[in-house]
Amino acid sequence: MVEIVLPNDANLHCAALGGRVMHWIDMCAAIAAMRFSGRPMVTASVDELHFLGSVRLGEMAVLRGEVTQAWKSSVEVEVHVDAEDMLQGTRRPTTAAFLTFVAVDDAGHPAPVPPIHLISPSQKKRAREADERRERRLVSRRRIREGLGLEP
- Tell me, letter by letter, the H, E, C secondary structure of the chain: CEEECCHHHECCCCEECHHHHHHHHHHHHHHHHHHHHCCCEEEEEEEEEEECCCCECCCEEEEEEEEEEECCCEEEEEEEEEEEECCCCEEEEEEEEEEEEEEECCCCCECCCCCCCCCCHHHHHHHHHHHHHHHHHHHHHHHHHHHCCCCC
Q: What pLDDT is stored for residue 151 in this prediction?
A: 76
Task: Read off the pLDDT band of 17 (50, 70, 90).
Answer: very high
Q: What pLDDT is stored for residue 152 in this prediction?
A: 65
How far is Cα 137 from Cα 44, in angstroms, rounded to an integer?
Answer: 10
pLDDT at 9 over 70: yes
Does residue 45 contact residue 26 with C-beta atoms inside 8 Å? no
Domain boundaries, the chain: 2-116
Domain spanning 2-116: which CATH class is it, in words?
Answer: alpha beta
Report the predicted TM-score, pTM, of the whole model to 2 decimal places: 0.94
How far is Cα 97 from Cα 95, in angstroms, rounded to an integer?
Answer: 7
Phi, psi at 61, each rounded to 5°: -95, 120
User: 28-84: per-residue pLDDT in tens?
Assistant: 999 999 999 999 999 999 988 999 999 999 999 999 999 999 999 999 999 999 999
